[in-house]
A and B are shown apart, each in its own frame.
Chain A
Amino acid sequence: MTNKMRILLASCGTLALASAASADTVRIGITQNNVGIDSYQTTYERAFIAAADANPDVEVIVLDAGGDVARQISQMQDLIQQNVDAIIIWPTDGQAVVPAVRNAHRAEIPVIVTNSNIAEAGMEFIAAFSGPNNIQQGIYSAEMMCDALEGEGQIVQITGMPGYTTAIERQQGFDERLAEMCPGVTQLDIQPGDWNRERAQRTMETFLTRFDQIDGVYSGDDNMGVGALNAAIAANRAEGMVFIGATNFAVGYDAMGRGEYWGSVYQSPVDDAKAALQTALDVLAGEDVPKLNYFDTPKITQDNMEEFDRPVF
């Protein structure tokens, strides 16, 4: 990582000198959350660099906070010092980065937040947010659950890590839409799976002991959904049980292909990265960009899965 950073920084430095004459080139700095911790973020970074390389008018400075808030704040300061044209930030902590974002705003550098939004207090300092709409994803999952169960049944929910915005918003969207669209579907219990497949498998095993009849399972992502599926298969109760997830993973896609998994929400890190860069460019071009820019994360089910590539993670 450090080597890549150094090369990128060095090349950016020389390129900046070389291209100082051409006024058309924009310099955009990005500070990411934690590249390498999961496949999504790894793919995102690759896609972001590829998208920037494809555009001759863009120079990017790619940084990674390694999940460390303090490091991300100092990276923000570095980018402000370098006087880049725009900063893209994938917040490590939506609350703690607000002062750093405010500093950039004061230095008149537009800030674009990517993937997960920052806290409400920081919204006035950002130019735009670009990312998935997690509440909408929860709504989609609820609609698929309703369709699959034809409005009647008992389900359990396995959520992501407690306290994570993504987990909270997906649950919120799901709970509200489910209650509104099909009151005939009841939620027996909601417990966390911590984004961890083994943990989700354990939670599901306990659900299976506790409830004699489970018609459907909603999981906060496919990784946990496949854990729940594993538990149901081991208990010989997967037959006829509806599994709905979110953030379609390769394992979820494959299980869907085998007919074991009903549906999910397709969220591509490539789309996420491209949308972030495009939003930044739109802001710099002086276009009237809305505060919240959501890229499309469609429903994926056994019926329409051929329209999508198998996820890379």
Chain B
Amino acid sequence: MLLNRLKAGGPAIAKQGILVAFILFMIVFSLMSDRFLTADNIMSVFRQSAIIGVMAVGVTIVVIGGNLDLSVGSMLSFATVLVVDLHDKIGPELAIPIMVLATLCLGAINGFLIGILRLNSLIVTLGMLSAIQGLVLIYSGGQNVDIVDQRGTWFAIFGRGSVLGIAAPILIFGLMAIIFHVIMSTMPFGRKVYAVGGNPTASVFSGIPRSRVVFTTYLISALCVAVAAIILGSRVMGSQNNVGQGYELQVLAAVILGGTSLLGGAGSILKTVLGVLMLAFIQNGLILMGQPYYTQWLVTWVVIIVAVWLDVAAKRGRLFSPIA
């Protein structure tokens, strides 16, 4: 069995269930399509996954802290509509900071309700999902927004530019992932998030400012959404009112696939990155093989469930277990 070999490889490998699933998956796909493992395609998938990826970095931190954020989808719509609309009105150098501040305000509302008032995060962010969508519609009056001068604006660098042949969205995604990985794994703030998510009561008795930590995780999530909105707006050069609709579930799927516990206290940003890439490669690979869309929906979720199972099984050291 695969698992026995995993265990024989030592505990270090046994803990990397998601990595093993990812590699297996890549091998299968590259056998089925000769275009799959080309440099062009890999770059293309990395670039496509950047928007979901940046958002997933923020949501991972929220989830490690023991909460959920379902409002990121409509927050993305809000931020993208705002930055694209303001771009033509006041120019990108003002549009970007105003959009970032406005999005942080939404994050602060989430943080206040969940961190300070201690309301249930599922209910609050589900409510915010709908409330923010309403806000977008009020702001835009239902109109799509577009950047008129698409070729002449420096705003294009975030979505369409590149440095040394690497597309800007990939660099931004990579940078965000590394920064927050370092914060989460080496800095006191990171340890506090794990503590609050793992055992809220114990963390309070240990003198950790739980409310402030949770509040900050929602600010980080909103910041990530703002960055994702810059990439999205720059890449598409326009926005629909509901552009982010459904993205919250893709983000959450990537976070779960990365092995972050929905109960809080455990998870890793780098593994979320793996989850994001795996989802993007599945969608890409199935289109490369010419599979119809319903296969994509089916396969995506089968893979998520199998990967989560492999991950859990690797941690337990056995495929089936009556106890968790």
Contacting pair A42 B142 (CB below 8 A): yes
Q: Could you say which of A35, A190, A210, A227 contacts B142, with CB atoms under 8 Å apart?
A: A35
Chain B residues within 8 Å of A205, by CB:
44, 47-48
Contacting pair B288 A39 (CB below 8 A): no
Contacting pair B241 A191 (CB below 8 A): no
The answer for the CA separation of A312 and B284 in the assembled complex, in Å, is 34
Confirm or deny: A249 has a beta carbon within 8 angstroms of a beta carbon on chain B: yes
Confirm or deny: A153 has a beta carbon within 8 angstroms of a beta carbon on chain B: no
The answer for the CA separation of A234 and B235 in the assembled complex, in Å, is 10
Contacting pair A206 B284 (CB below 8 A): yes
Tell me the A residues contacting B by CB distance below 8 Å: 35-39, 41-42, 162, 189-192, 195-198, 201-203, 205-207, 209-210, 223, 226-227, 230, 234, 249-251, 254, 312-313
Contacting pair B238 A251 (CB below 8 A): yes
Contacting pair B241 A198 (CB below 8 A): no
Chain A residues within 8 Å of B146, by CB:
250-251
If A39-B143, A209-B44 touch, whether A227 touches B287 (CB-CB below 8 Å) is no
Q: Could you say which of B35, B143, B288 contacts A42, with CB atoms under 8 Å apart?
A: B143
Report 26 cross-chain contacts, Cβ distance below 8 Å, ordered by A residue: A35-B142, A36-B137, A42-B143, A162-B294, A189-B287, A189-B290, A196-B243, A197-B238, A197-B243, A198-B236, A206-B44, A206-B284, A206-B287, A209-B35, A209-B38, A210-B35, A210-B287, A210-B290, A223-B240, A227-B236, A230-B237, A234-B160, A250-B144, A251-B146, A254-B148, A313-B143
Q: Given A36-B142, A36-B241, list of 10 further CB < 8 A pairs? A: A38-B144, A197-B243, A201-B235, A203-B287, A205-B48, A209-B44, A210-B287, A223-B240, A226-B238, A251-B238
Q: Could you say which of A38, A202, A209, A234 contacts B41, with CB atoms under 8 Å apart?
A: A209
Q: How far is the CB of A202 from chain B (nearest CB, A)?
A: 5
If A37-B242, A206-B288, A234-B160 touch, whether A198 touches B142 (CB-CB below 8 Å) is no
Confirm or deny: B184 has a beta carbon within 8 angstroms of a beta carbon on chain A: no
Contacting pair A38 B44 (CB below 8 A): no
Chain A residue at smallest Cβ distance from B231: A198
The answer for the CA separation of A62 and B95 in the assembled complex, in Å, is 36
Chain A residues within 8 Å of B252, by CB:
none
The answer for the CA separation of A312 and B143 in the assembled complex, in Å, is 8
Chain B residues within 8 Å of A39, by CB:
142-144
The answer for the CA separation of A252 and B259 in the assembled complex, in Å, is 42
Interface residues of B in 7-66 (CB under 8 A from A): 33, 35, 38, 40-41, 44, 47-48, 51
Chain B residues within 8 Å of A192, by CB:
293
The answer for the CA separation of A205 and B142 in the assembled complex, in Å, is 28
Interface of A is mostly: helix
- Nearest first, the 9 A-B pairs at minimum CB distance are A42-B142, A36-B142, A36-B137, A206-B287, A39-B143, A209-B41, A202-B48, A192-B293, A197-B236
The answer for the CA separation of A196 and B241 in the assembled complex, in Å, is 10
The answer for the CA separation of A56 and B44 in the assembled complex, in Å, is 58
Q: How far is the CB of A41 from chain B (nearest CB, A)?
A: 7
Confirm or deny: B207 has a beta carbon within 8 angstroms of a beta carbon on chain A: no
Confirm or deny: B141 has a beta carbon within 8 angstroms of a beta carbon on chain A: yes
Chain B residue at smallest Cβ distance from A159: B293
Q: How far is the CB of A308 from chain B (nearest CB, A)?
A: 18
Q: How far is the CB of B136 from chain A (nearest CB, A)?
A: 9
Q: Could you say which of A196, A198, A313 contacts B235, with CB atoms under 8 Å apart?
A: A198
Chain B residues within 8 Å of A196, by CB:
240, 243
Confirm or deny: B232 has a beta carbon within 8 angstroms of a beta carbon on chain A: yes
Contacting pair B284 A41 (CB below 8 A): no
Chain B residue at smallest Cβ distance from A227: B236
Q: Which of B38, B148, B236, B283 counts the most A-chain CB atoms under 10 A from its CB?
A: B236
Contacting pair A37 B137 (CB below 8 A): yes
Contacting pair A198 B40 (CB below 8 A): no
Chain A residue at smallest Cβ distance from B144: A39
The answer for the CA separation of A41 and B284 in the assembled complex, in Å, is 33
Q: Could you say which of A37, A209, A223 contacts B288, with CB atoms under 8 Å apart?
A: A209
Q: Which of A38, A206, A234, A251 counts the most B-chain CB atoms under 10 A from its CB?
A: A206
Chain B residues within 8 Å of A223, by CB:
144, 240
Q: How far is the CB of A53 from chain B (nearest CB, A)?
A: 19
Chain B residues within 8 Å of A35, by CB:
142
Q: How far is the CB of A195 from chain B (nearest CB, A)?
A: 8
Chain B residues within 8 Å of A254, by CB:
148
Chain B residues within 8 Å of A251, by CB:
144, 146, 238
If A162-B294, A197-B238, A227-B236 touch, whether A38 touches B142 (CB-CB below 8 Å) is yes
The answer for the CA separation of A206 and B287 in the assembled complex, in Å, is 7
